Structure 1
Amino acid sequence: MIRTAHVNGVDLSYREEGDPAAPTLVLLHGRTADHNNWNPFIRRFAERFHVIAPDLRGHGASERPGRYELPDMAEDVVALLGALGVDQAILIGHSLGGVVAYHLAMNHPERVSLLVLEDPPAPVPHERPALVDDSPMMVETERQIVSPDPAWAEGLKRVTAPTLVLAGGPASHVIAEPLADLIPGAKLVTIGVGHLIHADAPEEFWAAVGRFLE
């Protein structure tokens, strides 16, 4: 079911499936996508979990407030969980959604029981090709991705949830592997199909995540 909540000063659209009494699992999509990016998996996860799949601010049917600081995007999700009465959740985030997920996990470690990061950019400085899309969301998020606050890498030490980092290997344009060293005890699994692991290798993604969630 698609719903909308006003949280942290913005209207967020989200899809909710599964038994609300089951453990909550939050799916966070990548940049320029929305909750529909997870459609092949939502019902499968909903067999075991209370699934929440929001459209991040600036995406899908959610509000475009003109401010796209990555820590704020994480606070949107925290506020959504609070509005839904959820104290703790499993987080699975792809790309930008993975960045949002690790910000949430390092700033609110008590809110995250398990953390799955699918090929998100690690908070280390790096160069990338110039953007074609000059929308505020793209420009602001790209600035933070290529030149992250140095405190973010240090902040990852505060993550307490068991963490799985899925990297897309050399075919990916994203540098995710350093996350496994920055997050205490994190496990790194490489599925060498590039950045869109859950789309291009869905059964490998499902198997790796399933083993971790067990």
Structure 2
Amino acid sequence: MKLNSYHIGSADAPALIIIHGLFGSASNFRSLAKIYSEDFSVTCLDLRNHGASPHDDDVSFDAMAADVVEFMDDHGIPRAHIMGHSLGGKVAMQLALTHPDRIDKLIIGDIAPITYPHHHDRIFEGLQAVRAARLTSRKEAEAILAEYVQIPQVRLFLMTNMVRGEDQVFDWRINVDGLQQNYAELAKAPTGTPFTGKSCFIRGEMSDYVKETTYDVIKQLFPQAEIVTLKGAGHWLHAEKPQEYVRLTLDFLKKD
């Protein structure tokens, strides 16, 4: 699986690989990548089934972690700092638990190594409804999506995945069918041998993705983990509090 990527920064700098969340893409972190590029060689990846990367119905964490390793091998990156948000955080955790020799420091954004309940069903229904309507108007697409997704910011985020076909009809560039049919794999917890390297788990104060009840599980798999709460942030902490998120992550990456 050859992943699409966006790179910025000097090739001589330490490598930092950033992995987006479900329904996202490499472009989600472009503005932050520009800041990180002052100190790091930054690569933002499109996970399989997302962005401009190929589609495959195998959405297991082992497969997605292997994609990252393949990317690193193809681009001569023996080790890198790895940053992942949400689903990307689970992929980053899986990478650390199965390929610890490829990771310098690990940063996980608002996700824990646990199995989560299905909570994207309405989003998938909305994506399928837009597809079925065969629309040529973004305004009409958003109107349909609004019946399923009430939060405007989430709708706009999802609509970054809209692309026109040759007939000018909008469709989704993400593998909607594959992700929906295999969602149970995405909900699972990453597994493997505990990662003894340095890691930082950042939770949003207003988010319920990383509750205090998950701290023990985090520490079991990531015994050196720092768990930090970003004040005033929800699940999209890097977008909601970008300055604070960058300051926190750079402090972690640069210390020692």
**Which structure 2 residue ranges, 5 or more long, are not aligned?**
125-175
**Runs of 4+, deviation exceeding 6 Å:** none
In the superposition, the TM-score normalised over structure 1's length comes to 0.85
In the superposition, the TM-score normalised over structure 2's length comes to 0.72
Maintained 8 Å contact 2:110/2:202: yes
Q: 2:197 aligns to what?
A: 161
One of 91, 96, 105 as aligned partner of 1:105: 96
Larger Rg: 2
Q: Note closer, same or farther for the CA distance 1:145–1:60 as it changes in structure 2 (3 Å cut).
A: closer
Determine what percentage of the aligned residue pairs are the same residue.
29
Matches within 5 A, 1:46-195: 46-120=37-111, 122-129=112-119, 131-132=121-122, 133=124, 135-140=177-182, 142-148=183-189, 152=191, 155=192, 157=194, 159-169=195-205, 171-175=206-210, 177-178=214-215, 180-182=218-220, 183-192=222-231, 193-195=233-235
3-state SS of 1:116 partner: strand
Q: Note closer, same or farther for the CA distance 1:84–1:130 as it changes in structure 2 (3 Å cut).
A: closer
Cα distance in 1, alignment partners of residues 186 and 208 from structure 2: 13
CA apart distance, 1:180: 3.6
Cα distance in 2, alignment partners of residues 128 and 58 from structure 1: 19
**Which structure 1 residue ranges, 5 or more long, are not aligned?**
1-9
Cα distance in 1, alignment partners of residues 188 and 40 from structure 2: 36
Maintained 8 Å contact 1:102/1:156: no
Cα distance in 2, alignment partners of residues 163 and 57 from structure 1: 24
Maintained 8 Å contact 1:116/1:209: yes
Deviation larger for 62-71 or 22-31: 62-71
3-state SS of 1:127 partner: coil
Maintained 8 Å contact 2:8/2:42: yes
Q: Note closer, same or farther for the CA distance 1:201–1:138 as it changes in structure 2 (3 Å cut).
A: farther
